Amino acid sequence: MHPIVKLVTQRLALGLLLLFAASVLIFLGTQILPGDVAQAILGQSATPEALANMRAEMGLDRPAITRYFEWLFNALQGDLGTALSNGRDITESIASRLTNTLFLASVAAVVSVPLAIFLGLFAVRFRDRWPDRLISAITLTSISLPEFLLGYIMMYVFAVKLSWFPSVSTINDSMSFLEKLNAVALPALVLTLVVLAHMMRMTRAAILNVMQSAYIETAELKGLRRFNVIARHAMPNSIAPIVNVVMLNLAYLVVGVVVIEVVFVYPGMGQYLVDHVSKRDVPVVQACGLIFATIYIGLNLVADVVSILSNPRLRHPK
Amino acid sequence: MKGIPLAALLGLIITILFFLMAIFAPLIAPYGMSETVGDVWEPSSSQFWLGTDNIGRDLLTRMIYGGRTTIFVASLATILSFTLGAVLGFTAAVYGGLVDQVMSRTNDLVMSIPTLIFALVVLSVMPVTLPVLILVMGLLDSTRVFRLSRAVAVDINVMDFVEAARLRGEGQRWVIFREILPNALSPLVAELGLRFIFAILFISTLSFLGLGIQPPGADWGGIVKENREGIVYGISAALYPAVAIVTLAISVNLVADWALNRTTSLKGGRGG
Amino acid sequence: MAEALLEINNLRIEATVYAPGEKPRNAVIVDDVSLRLEPGKVMGLIGESGAGKSTIGLAALAYGRGGIRLSGGKIMLNGREIRRASSTELRGLRGREVTYVAQSAAAAFNPAKRLMEQVIEATLKHNLMPKTEAEARAVELFRTLSLPEPESFGQRYPHQVSGGQLQRAMTAMALCPKPDLVIFDEPTTALDVTTQIDVLAAIKTAIATSGVAALYITHDLAVVAQVSDEIMVLRGGQLVEHGTVQQIIEEPREDYTRALVSVHKIDHREKLPEGEPILRAEGITARYGAMNEDVLSDVSVDLYAGQTLALVGESGSGKSTMARVITGLLPPREGTLVFDGNPLPGALKDRSREELRQLQMIYQMADVAMNPRQTIATIIGRPLEFYFNMRGRERDARVQELLDAIELGEGYADRYPAELSGGQKQRVCIARALAAKPKLIICDEVTSALDPLVADGILKLLLNLQKREGVAYLFITHDIATVRAIADSIAVMYQGRVQRYGTKTEVLTPPFDDYTDLLLSSVPEMELGWLERVLEHRRMESAGN
């Protein structure tokens, strides 16, 4: 077997293992702690009998390990259980919300990824001059603000004062693509700003790192144009670090979505999760946690696989 | 403090002012924390410098008390995450082998779930009280400190001067505290700053989501939550915490940057 | 006098230095240097680190690395002033009229591209010939440079060929566009000595065949004497002496040049083994963790009190692994160590404090062998506290004694390592080892990171200390000249085994085994025509077989 196939297979297997372990952790996170779901629903003043009944009814009296595997196998078959708070099927509720969340995240990604890479290159080109310093300053400010505050500032300026966009992002299936786009414009803008700074700064660092290699000097001493030096010599070696940067930030974006959805009252996974955390609806929280963790681990996995694939030492072994 | 750059000095002064404000909040605040003193969302005036909030409490008072809570929780969480993360990270690096493997893989696992999501999962079954919040934030964030301090310590641990100490017969305590720690201090101090900022942002986010500090207690995230409806009417009460958070975060950042630069300059030093 | 290809007049080069804790200041790197090179000639630039030789080499391409400014003087190439040329003009001459061969070809090749593509890149970019012709030329150059399978060599990636081959490929890359001038910047410094001679020969042949002119930059006078017509000796950015090769190595005019020529000519008469050995290693076999191959197999050597045993070999010979075994960092799989008549435990943790004290170590890189956060007094004083429980004034007095012993004197105790020069740092490391009053010091390549003159000073110091303190040295090195200067007995290591072992005279006197012969004959000697003689000799030998 080609060593690269072996490595990628190993990495994928490791990803699955990690995912499995993460599911255990999420399940444990809601089990080991004092109090259980029954307690949470009935409150502190519940009588022991009422608690016992509730536990029996929900199957909580069986060992945790049995319940875990039941939960996992059902989840693998697409059955995420029913919500405690309203008795609805979780898979059904999540389906449309997940689509909405992914839509919002994709819009933000489509704008932010190319922009960040471009600005990162721009900062490298004008290294230590004012464009670079300006970018650094903006980065510093934006990593100093929580996402939700950035959201409200944008809302205050663009929705309330300027009235360019709606302040609340309602979205439904009957809307056309453009209408949807208009609805998510403001939250997508906020998300873009949130990841842009990080992504730009990390892209800049990744490219600078490559640009300081001796082979870049070799290329310059061949009399190549600046553009050729970057395109032919820096880029092939920058792909892996840049993909890494992008994936890390997309993973970060997935988390940012949770908060931004609450700010703009957007009907996505994030709001669904937060709502049910307050209601102590454990099955919903577990389901959402599992999905967010899967996306997060998946993106990191992609980054690792790309960096394996783009390594010439692995692609062309001795 | 010889040779401290102006920016870092400014950052240091502002950070200290924030902490003084937190400590002496009851002396500074013009009104009681949950005292209703005016109308809903009054504009700023000589009586209420920042105006009033959604139920007529003085916003400046709320901001000062809010800062106290936020800074208090963030500080304790940072101390917890730092002590735990740094001690475990150093231990993993110095002992190496199986100890390191087990600790590092466990850490990777916890880090594979986004911090906020993990916190939400745990807070869905735990009572939301101050100790629980500090514990959850501190434990989750210690994974990041663990990773950094382990990496720093591993780098130093393979240097010849550490080997020289081992060959001399020095014990683990000397190696950790005399050889590794003094060389790891600057990056760790810089990280301390970053972790503190992260804790401020994190507790604010949790409070904003209604899962942090519970009313009537005040904190910066909670002030946003309480006054968010005002935004739509053009009332900027909810945005004041932004100013406070950005100012504090940038100040701490400036100090942290300076701490980090001090390391690199010492390493780069080469005489003759 | 023929028309000059390159003429540099009163060149001045400055740089902004960012010293820790200080404001950036301006430093003069090269001051008032002039040189003249005719077409087809080779000029050697020689000097120690900080002499400005590489900077001058790159100035011939009007190129300055990070923050370096060509601030004064004239650089005339083919009759044009290039110091102030526009970037378009510079692009036109770089890679066409002047090309560059870097010290580390491994870093200078782009890891993501095949060798051929990189070798012919400049030729194609400057539209010098069509692609097929350029490729044919590259293959021809590969052949001239004795690269294996020249037809398909270019299809490989940089990581798929050895260091010596990569260095030759870089030479092919420099010669491919048929430039007028090639700058060779320490092209063989990073190579093992047996590889160096082949690369050197290949470069010399390639220069001769193509008739190109060259600036050959190195710190090794013996090397530059083999390839150059003229030599310029530089020191601290200034010209010391300029002359033909013959004049420089046979009748140097300046003191500094004389010192460079006579470097490593320490007269050391060997001591013969007597009494019981202080260290006896028997049948040592060792490997690293998960590897399933022995790095050392069946190594047996003896070292006598107050004497020096040199372990000599190239990279991968196992000589440094032997040091790790003796220090206890890598317990051997088989074999025993006997120290001063008593068995020495294989693992560090099983050794007593007394055993540890008797056996000290000095490292190659003094920079990283000292904790940058400790003062010199702490560094030297710690073994005194640790082994002898010395405190306060008694300790300080002993530290000063040791500082005097390493010829540093007063005023160093309170400094930090970063404030010392490379040679001074290594002296402090020696003092730290001496502080323990050991019977044996392991010296792992202790002079290889230093400039030749500084290295000589360290060797003389070590010899003096041996005479005074009666300490034995296990001296690990790849450098035969160092071995001649310091050893009483020698073990030649090759692929994890002892290839040849005995007193210095025994080991260095023929008849040799094949490897020792190859190793010894590959060491450049400071005389004209050495390279040709060795190559001729080897041709005869192989023809005879």
Q: Quick check: C74 and A201 in contact, CB under 8 A?
A: no
Q: Is the pLDDT of residue A125 over 80?
A: no
Please state the domain extents for chain A: 93-278
CA distances from B178 to B74, B165, C382, C417 (A): 30, 10, 11, 16
In chain C, which residues have their Cβ closer than 8 Å to the Cβ of A313? 111, 157, 159
Whether residue A41 lies within 8 A of chain B, CB to CB, comes out as no
> pLDDT-based confidence at A92, cuts 50/70/90?
confident
What are the backbone angles phi and psi of residue A12, rounded to the nearest 5°?
-65, -40
Q: In whole angstroms, what is the distance from residue C1 CA to residue C303 CA?
A: 60
Burial environment of residue B166 by CB neighbours within 10 A (0 to 12, 13 to 18, 19 or more)? buried
pLDDT at residue B269, rounded to an integer: 34
Please write the tens of the pLDDT for every residue from C210-247: 889 999 999 888 899 999 999 999 998 899 999 999 99
Q: Provide the shortest C-alpha distance from residue A273 to chain B (in Å).
A: 8
- Fill in the amino acid letter for C514: D
Beta carbons of A18 and B109 less than 8 Å apart: yes
State CA C213 to chain mean position distance. 25
Report d(CA C390, CA A203) in Å as an integer.
54
> Is C537's pLDDT higher than 50?
yes
Q: Does B172 touch chain C (CB under 8 A)?
A: no
Q: Print burial letters for C446-461: b (CB count within 10 Å at least 16), e (below 16).
A: bbebbbbebbbbbbeb
% of chain A at pLDDT higher than 70? 93
Three-class secondary structure of residue A303 per DSSP: helix
What's the pLDDT at C353?
93
Residue B233: the pLDDT is 78
Picking from A4, A128, A222, A227 by the largest number of C CB atoms within 10 A of its own CB, the best residue to mutate is A222
pLDDT tens digits, residue range C33-48? Answer: 999 999 989 999 998 8
Are C405 and B195 in contact by the 8 Å Cβ rule? The answer is no
Instruction: Output the pLDDT for position A137.
Output: 79
Other Cβ atoms within 10 Å of C86 Cβ, number: 8
Percent of chain B clearing pLDDT 90 (strictly above): 22
In this structure, which amino acid lies at residue B88? L
Edge to edge, the sheet with strand C277-286 lists C296-304, C277-286, C334-339, C342-343
- The pLDDT value recorded for residue B263 is 55
Please check the confidence at residue A249 and state whether its pLDDT lies above 90: no
Whether the pLDDT of residue B217 is over 60: the answer is: yes
Nearest chain C residue to B185, by CA = C373
* Chain C residue whose CA is closest to B261: C20
Tell if the CB–CB gap between B124 and A153 is shorter than 8 Å: no
A237 contacts C110? CB cut-off 8 A: yes
**Interface test with chain B among A144, A186, A299, by most B beta carbons within 10 Å:** A144
pLDDT above 50 for B272? no
Determine the pLDDT at residue C421.
86
Q: Could you tell me the CA-to-CA distances from B266 to A226, C20, C370, C420 in Å, in that order?
A: 34, 6, 14, 13
Distance (Å) from the alpha carbon of B240 to chain A's nearest alpha carbon: 10
Which whole-number Å values give the CA distances from C283 to A149, B253, C86, C498, C500, in the listed order?
A: 71, 59, 66, 11, 15
Least confident among A21-30, B263-272, C414-423: B263-272
pLDDT for position A42: 67
User: d(Cα C175, Cα C206) in Å, to the nearest integer?
Assistant: 8
pLDDT: which is higher, C152 or B33: C152
The 3-state secondary structure of chain B reads CCCCCHHHHHHHHHHHHHHHHHHCHHHHCCCCCCCECCCCCCCCCCCCCCCECCCCEEHHHHHHHHHHHHHHHHHHHHHHHHHHHHHHHHHHHHHCHHHHHHHHHHHHHHHCCCHHHHHHHHHCCCCCCHHHHHHHHHHHHHHHHHHHHHHHHHHHHCCHHHHHHHHHCCCHHHHHHHHHHHHHHHHHHHHHHHHHHHHHHHHHHHHHCCCCCCCCCCCHHHHHHHHHHHHHCCCHHHHHHHHHHHHHHHHHHHHHHHHHHHHHHHHHCCCC
**Of A118-127, B46-55, C364-373, C394-403, which gets the smallest average pLDDT?**
B46-55
pLDDT of residue A263: 86
A156–B236: do the CB atoms touch at under 8 Å?
A: yes
Higher-pLDDT residue of A166 and C538 is C538
| Tokens (6 digits) for C141 | 């150059």
The neighbours of chain C, by the rule of 3 or more Cβ pairs under 8 Å, are A, B
* Alpha-carbon gap, residue C444 to C442, rounded angstroms: 6
Please return the burial class of A318, using the count of CB atoms within 10 Å of its CB with bins 0-12, 13-18 and 19+. Answer: exposed
Rounded Cα–Cα distance for residues C492 and C522 (Å): 14
pLDDT digit string, tens, across residues C443-493 = 999 998 888 888 989 999 999 999 999 999 999 999 888 898 899 999 999
Q: Which of A127-131, C156-160, C245-249, C450-454 has the lowest mean pLDDT?
A: A127-131
For strand C42-46 and strand C230-235, is the pairing parallel, antiparallel, or unpaired? Answer: parallel
Find all residues with CB under 8 Å of B29, minimum gap 6, and list them. B60, B61, B64, B65
Model confidence pLDDT, tens digit, residues B8-18: 889 899 999 98
Average pLDDT (C428-434) is 95
pLDDT at B66: 87
- The two tokens of residue B140 are 């989750």
Q: Please tell me the predicted confidence (pLDDT) of residue B262.
A: 66
Tell me the percentage of chain A whose pLDDT exceeds 90: 5
Listed residue (B117, B129, B110, B124) closest to A31, CA to CA = B124
Question: CA–CA separation, C108 vs C110, rounded Å?
Answer: 7
Topology classification of domain C279-509: Rossmann fold (3.40.50)
- The CATH T-level fold of domain B29-265 is MetI-like fold (1.10.3720)
Give the model confidence (pLDDT) of C299-348 as tens digits: 999 999 999 999 999 888 889 899 999 999 999 999 999 999 999 998 99
Helix axes A64-76, A282-309, angle to 10 degrees: 60
d(CA C504, CA A66): 76
Kindly report which listed range (A78-82, C68-72, C118-122, C298-302) carries the lowest average pLDDT score: A78-82
Give chain C positions within 8 Å (CB) of A214.
102, 104, 107-108
Whether the pLDDT of residue C292 is over 50: the answer is: yes
Secondary structure element (H or E) that encloses residue C215, with its range:
strand C213-218
Residues C388, C392, C393, C394, Cα dihedral to 10°: -10
B59-95 vs B97-111: helix crossing angle, rounded to 10: 150
A271: which residues sit within 8 A by CB, 6+ positions away?
Answer: A97, A258, A261, A262, A265
Asked if A18's CB is within 8 angstroms of B112's CB, the reply is yes
Question: Of B124, B207, B225, which to mutate for an interface test with A (greatest number of A Cβ within 10 Å)?
Answer: B124
Cis peptide before C511 (omega within 30 of 0): yes
pLDDT at A308: 84
The CATH number of the domain covering residues in A93-278: 1.10.3720.10
Q: What are the strands, taking DSSP E only, across C268-402?
A: 277-286, 296-304, 308-312, 334-339, 342-343, 359-362
Q: Which of residues 50-109 of A touch B (CB under 8 A)?
A: none
Q: What is the pLDDT, as a whole number, of residue B161?
A: 94
Beta bridge partners of C184: C101, C216
Higher pLDDT, A42 or C403: C403
Mean pLDDT of chain A: 82
pLDDT at A278: 82
DSSP-derived 3-state class of residue C480: helix
Contact A214 C102 (CB under 8 A): yes
pLDDT for B267: 39
Q: What is the pLDDT of residues B37-52, one digit of tens each?
A: 777 777 777 777 777 7
Interface of A with B in 217-256 (CB under 8 A): 251, 254-255
Statement: residue A296 has pLDDT above 50: yes
Mutate: best of C94, C121, C152, C215, partner A, most A CBs <10 A: C121
Per-residue pLDDT, A38 = 67
Integer Cα distance of C422 and C455 in angstroms: 10
| Nearest CB to A312 within list C91, C100, C159 | C159
**In 3-state terms, what secondary structure has residue C373?**
coil
Per-residue pLDDT tens over the stretch A181-216: 777 888 898 888 888 888 888 888 888 888 888 999
- The C-alpha of B147 sits at a distance from chain A's nearest C-alpha, in angstroms, of 16
- State whether residue A154 sits within 8 Å of chain B by CB: no
Separation of CA B29 from chain center: 24
This prediction's pTM: 0.82
Residue A70 binned pLDDT confidence (cut-offs 50, 70, 90): confident
Q: Is the confidence at residue A172, as pLDDT, over 80? A: no
Quote the pLDDT of residue B270.
Answer: 30
Pairing of strands C238-244, C277-286: unpaired
- ipTM score of complex: 0.83
* Phi, psi (degrees; rounded to nearest 5) at C239: -75, 130
| C545: helix, strand or coil | coil
Architecture of domain C6-261: 3-Layer(aba) Sandwich (3.40)
Give dist(CA C38, CA C22) in Å, integer: 44
